[in-house]
Structure 1
Amino acid sequence: MPSLFRLIAPKPRPTRDTLSVLLPDGRNVDITRVRDPRARRLRLSVDERGARLSLPLRASLVSGDRFVAEHSDWLARQIDHFAMDAVPRLVRGETAALPLRGEQVPLRWAEGRYARLSEDEHGLIFALPARGGDAAMRRTLRDFYEAQGRADLGRWLPKYVPGLPRSPSRVTFKVMSSQWGSLSPDGVMVLDLALVLGQPAAFEYVLVHELCHLIHADHSRAFWREVGARFPAWRDQRGYFHAEGRRLKAGLRGLLSA
């Protein structure tokens, strides 16, 4: 039986600090060092936000430093990779294109009474009040992407829902860190907003994937047969996510972040 102390004691939370590392080429880089109670092993990762070292609670700082030193060549290559693939930012009057459905759509800037992002035959128009702030600008972009995603759903859902035991109870868009979609037991479907940035076929595949969970909640062979019957090219789209998924997620975060 667990002790009373274990029942009432608060669970430890991750703690963070910064570790400065000298790379083999002479560069100094800062690594976010995270002491994470959920971590089971030392893990070094790099993404558009920078480098991160995760340590289990019982791992010593010395072991973490040694781990980084052993992987310093890999760390340098990963940092260079992300430096070459720069994350786009939304800058008023400067950003000249926005990602949408696998393309870079030309963007023009204008002044308006309220923040509005619209589309015409020449591309996109971003109208903002003279004193409009960055937060309103990013909120407008997020609303635009969600409206585009819902327009895509409106075209695809009528094709797939009739063959299902029921419809999703609700569909929402979120900025997801790793997943592309999920389906809760009560039928609420959550889709990653970054899907709107990628090629439409990949977005459609994720939708079909989640809809098939209304038939099979697992990833059994029976589940994949349902996916294949509705979307035969699903393997191609899964390959697309392996190649482009990280870039899509990073692009969305870059556009929507301060």
Structure 2
Amino acid sequence: MRSLLLRRLIARTPRSVERDMVELPLDDGRTLTVQRVRDPRAKRLKLSVDERGARLTLPLRASLVSGERFLHQHRDWLAAQLARHLPDDDACALVPGQTTHLLLRGASLPLHWREGRFARIELHDDGVHAQWPARANATTLRRTLRAFYEAQARADIGRWLPGYLAGLPRAPRQVRLKVMSSQWGSLSPDGTLALDLALVLGRPSAFEYVLVHELCHLLQANHSPAFWREVEARCPAWRDERAYFHAEGRRLKATLHRLLAED
């Protein structure tokens, strides 16, 4: 009888993650939208902030009332995290024809618009220039902006990579640029090196450090003391660059996410 009751209880237990949104009023008068996630794997209530915004995770047995109470108890912490890690909406607003700035290599560059036959974004001495057809849509804008950032990132990699190849057992099989959620880079067993596209938004020395870090995995496929000796030999200031990512990393990822995300 007990085993039958247990099987019925398990059968009624949802196995998939359920998501919805909840509004949280802040003390300064703003209203924050928080993603609420009920996850069968969760063991406790958890509040987190990443490039996508705020997220409240609830275990199966937690009530919605307890989740709302948890949110209100931590709203000051949440507001501080968002202010520290996420960009203002206006900072990421990219509207054709409007004067704005674009983040690149740690600098906020003026973005100049002009009408043209083809969509194109290019870097010039006085800032970034965007040629924009009158009938182009938001999808075209995101695609063109991503292509611009990828071209700039590959230009940086092309300048740095040759200087490190001599001390490696082999070159990377290929270098891919991706939009990553948490990582900054990875090296697959076949030698494919993946780097986060958001790296090109930050300061170049931090971008170069991540490249060095992943290249050193061709020598040491771990994070042992021997690995860090290889990193330090090529990038003595790696601790400063790692501290930079701790301070600015989420903001960089959030900026790229908002610029390239679907509506």
TM over 0.5: yes
Instruction: Decide whether the 8 Å contact of 2:51 with 2:253 is kept in 1.
Output: no
Partner of 2:7: none
Given candidates 103, 109, 114, the residue that maps to 2:113 is: 109
User: Are the structure 2 counterparts of residues 129 and 217 from structure 1 closer, same or farther at C-alpha, using a change threshold of 3 Å?
Assistant: same
Give the alignment's TM-score, normalised by structure 1: 0.87
Partner of 2:139: 135
Identify which of 33, 36, 39 aligns with 1:36.
Answer: 39
Q: Paired residue for 1:181? A: 185
SS in 1 for 2:153: helix
CA contact (8 A) 2:94 2:100 kept: no
1:216 Cα deviation from its structure 2 partner: 1.3
Matched, 1:223 2:227: yes
Give secondary structure in 2 for the equivalent of 1:163: coil
2:245 to 218, 233, 241: 241
**Tell me, what secondary structure is at the counterpart of 1:206?**
helix
Alignment partners' CA distance in 2, 1:165 and 1:96:
45
- Aligned counterpart, 1:210: 214
Judge conservation of contact 1:181–1:190 (CA < 8 Å) in 2.
Answer: yes
Cα separation, partners in 2 of 1:81 and 1:213, compared to 1, 3 Å = closer
Q: Which moved more, 1:34-43 or 1:99-108?
A: 34-43
2:18 and 2:99 mapped to 1: Cα distance?
36
Question: Partner letter of residue 154 of structure 1?
Answer: G
Matched, 1:17 2:20: yes
Identical counterparts, % of pairs:
63
Structure 1 match to 2:104: 100
In structure 1, the partner of 2:77 is: 74
Change in CA separation of 1:252 and 1:218 when aligned onto 2, cut-off 3 Å:
same
Farther off after superposition, 114-123 or 58-67: 58-67
Once residues 193 and 142 of structure 2 are traced to their aligned partners in structure 1, the CA distance between those partners, rounded to angstroms, is 24
How far does residue 96 in structure 1 lie from its aligned partner after superposition?
2.5
SS of equivalent residue, structure 1 residue 150: helix
Give, in angstroms, the shift of residue 97 of structure 1: 1.9
Structure-2 change in CA distance of 1:125 and 1:229 (3 Å): same
Q: Which residue of 1 aligns with 2:167?
A: 163
Deviations 1:83-134 (A, max 9, x none): 8744412111114221111111222111111111122232221001121112
Which amino acid in structure 2 is aligned with residue 115 of structure 1?
A
Amino acid at match of 1:70: Q
Q: What letter corresponds to residue 42 of structure 1 in structure 2? A: L
8 Å CA contact retained: 1:90, 1:256: no
Q: Which segment is superposed worse, 81-90 or 169-178?
A: 81-90
2:49 aligned partner = 46
- CA distance in structure 2 between the aligned counterparts of 1:124 and 1:13, rounded to whole angstroms: 45
Question: In 2 relative to 1, CA 96–73 (structure 1 residues): closer, same or farther, beyond 3 Å?
Answer: closer
Q: Does structure 1 retain, via aligned residues, the 8 Å contact 2:87–2:251?
A: no
**Gaps in structure 2 of 5+ consecutive residues:** 1-13
Kindly indicate whether the alpha-carbon contact (under 8 Å) linking 1:89 and 1:95 is maintained by their aligned counterparts in 2. Answer: no
Partner of 1:247: helix, strand, or coil?
Answer: helix
2:139 aligned counterpart, secondary structure:
helix
**Structure 1 stretch displaced more, 100-109 or 172-181:** 100-109
The one-letter amino acid paired with 2:43 is R
Q: Aligned pairs, how many?
A: 248
CA distance in 2, matches of 1:120, 1:222: 42
> Would the alpha carbon gap of residues 48 and 193 (structure 1) be closer, same or farther in structure 2, given more than 3 Å must change?
closer
Matched residue type, 2:60: L
Equivalent in the alignment of 1:5: none
The counterpart of 2:153, out of the listed 144, 149, 164, is: 149
Tell me how far apart the structure 1 counterparts of residues 177 and 86 of structure 2 sit (CA, whole Å). Answer: 29
Structure 1's unaligned 5+ residue stretches are 1-10
